[in-house]
């Protein structure tokens, strides 16, 4: 594995004179964003276990990678996230309630209930590309979008995030190759959390880490401590600056660990040794950043208590709002596909609305197909 970049020590110290380029307010925003992720996780786990949502993806332990990378991106840039990137959205001001609408798949969900939970997509206040379940398929999408922005001569960088399992997909290899050949302004961020669901890294690749795979495609690479927010931020900033200069793509491997299951549908105790979990708990990224803030005299116990209470209340309120929001209208089965509804689709819609009216279903309205 290539030398790993680390900025914040386990005690919260940085090298003398180090400047992350963030104001005190921005540093506290980073910390609050990580706490928001933890609160979102906590509430979603309870919602799933109580049968109120069907699915969620734990982010515990990956927060510094998400927020560190997001802090290096401009709001005019594009993020092509994996499904474990809640912090990227929250850092850039995506409202938790809008994320919760997706978790419930209701009428206010941007995808109108057509996606699984956790598959967020937003255009404001940042371009947050739709999350995709099939592993690696979004990498070529990111490269295509990056190449398009290059052709249009836009000052835009595209960050694409994926797990270690994503490096075994065909999308990873084709995306890396095209990005390098075209010198597309894209940053590949591999979140190496040790397991592709239950498959450990040693059973996934014979390479010495994942960042080195970029060498075969002719692009620079960097391995960073993924539990160190500044290490991730610095690496992504350097990669975005390189991309903006027209020097092409870069790959970053953030070595981290998810301290929970792949999703709320699996049991990590069946495949992750207990001692591995205990080792990584001592590297908790939120605790490390808290220690840094403490050394900067930006943290107090009272601030901690206030932030934790506020973030939990914000997510709880978002969940309650989303749960009370009605489901998508019946017509959304047919909308957003054709500019003008073709005859065969119209006949299906008319049949469905008529049938629903005869059944007395409220969604059918007066029984007329509205499109």
Helical residues (DSSP H) of 122-201, grouped into ranges: 138-151, 170-182
The residue annotated as part of the active site, out of 101, 258, 288, 290, is 258
C-beta of residue 272 within 8 angstroms of C-beta of residue 58 = no
C-beta of residue 239 within 8 angstroms of C-beta of residue 232 = no
Q: Is 91 a catalytic residue?
A: no
Q: Is 292 a catalytic residue?
A: no
Q: How far does CA 232 lie from the centroid of its chain?
A: 15
Q: Give the separation between CA 16 and CA 370, rounded to whole angstroms.
A: 66
The residue annotated as part of the active site, out of 84, 138, 233, 262, is 262
Q: Give the separation between CA 290 and CA 262, rounded to whole angstroms.
A: 26
Token pair 């992750």 is at which residue? 272
Q: Give the separation between CA 78 and CA 261, rounded to whole angstroms.
A: 28
C-beta of residue 8 within 8 angstroms of C-beta of residue 292 = yes
C-beta of residue 352 within 8 angstroms of C-beta of residue 318 = no
Which of 146, 178, 181, 177 has the alpha carbon at shortest distance from 160?
Answer: 146
Distances (CA, A) of 39 to 13, 46, 161: 26, 11, 22
C-beta of residue 243 within 8 angstroms of C-beta of residue 72 = no
C-beta of residue 58 within 8 angstroms of C-beta of residue 254 = no
Q: Is 271 a catalytic residue?
A: yes
Question: Within 10 A of 24 (CB to CB), how many other CB atoms are there?
Answer: 11
What DSSP state is assigned to residue 270? G
H or E element at residue 191: strand 186-192
- The set of catalytic residues is 258, 262, 271
């Amino acid at each position: 594995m290539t030398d790993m970049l680390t900025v914040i020590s386990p005690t919260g110290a940085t090298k003398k004179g180090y400047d992350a380029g963030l104001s005190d307010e921005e540093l506290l925003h980073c910390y609050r964003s990580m706490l928001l992720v933890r609160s979102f996780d906590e509430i979603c786990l309870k919602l799933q276990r109580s049968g109120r949502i069907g699915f969620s993806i734990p982010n515990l332990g990956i927060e510094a990678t998400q927020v560190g990378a997001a802090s290096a991106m401009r709001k005019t840039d594009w993020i092509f996230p994996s499904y474990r990137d809640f912090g990227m959205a929250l850092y850039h001001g995506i409202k938790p309630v809008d994320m919760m609408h997706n978790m419930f798949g209701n009428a206010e969900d941007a995808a109108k209930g057509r996606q699984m939970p956790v598959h967020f997509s937003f255009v404001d206040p940042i371009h947050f590309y739709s999350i995709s379940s099939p592993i690696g398929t979004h990498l070529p999408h990111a490269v295509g979008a990056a190449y398009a922005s290059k052709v249009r001569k836009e000052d835009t960088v595209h960050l694409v995030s994926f797990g270690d399992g994503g490096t075994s997909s065909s999308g990873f290899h084709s995306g890396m190759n095209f990005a390098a050949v075209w010198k597309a302004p894209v940053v590949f961020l591999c979140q190496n959390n040790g397991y592709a669901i239950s498959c450990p890294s040693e059973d996934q690749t014979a390479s010495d880490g994942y960042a080195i795979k970029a060498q075969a495609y002719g692009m620079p690479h960097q391995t960073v401590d993924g539990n160190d927010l500044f290490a991730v931020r610095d690496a992504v900033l350097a990669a975005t600056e390189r991309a903006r200069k027209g020097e092409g793509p870069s790959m970053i491997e953030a070595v981290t660990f998810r301290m929970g299951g792949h999703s709320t549908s699996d049991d990590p105790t069946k495949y992750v040794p207990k001692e591995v979990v205990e080792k990584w708990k001592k590297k908790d990224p939120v605790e490390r950043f808290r220690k840094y803030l403490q050394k900067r005299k930006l943290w107090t116990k009272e601030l901690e208590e206030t932030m934790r209470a506020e973030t939990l209340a914000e997510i709880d309120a978002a969940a309650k709002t989303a749960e009370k929001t009605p489901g998508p209208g019946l017509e959304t089965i047919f909308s957003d596909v054709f500019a003008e509804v073709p005859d065969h689709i119209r006949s299906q819609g008319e049949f469905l609305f008529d049938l629903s009216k005869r059944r007395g279903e409220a969604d059918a309205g007066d029984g007329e197909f509205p499109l």
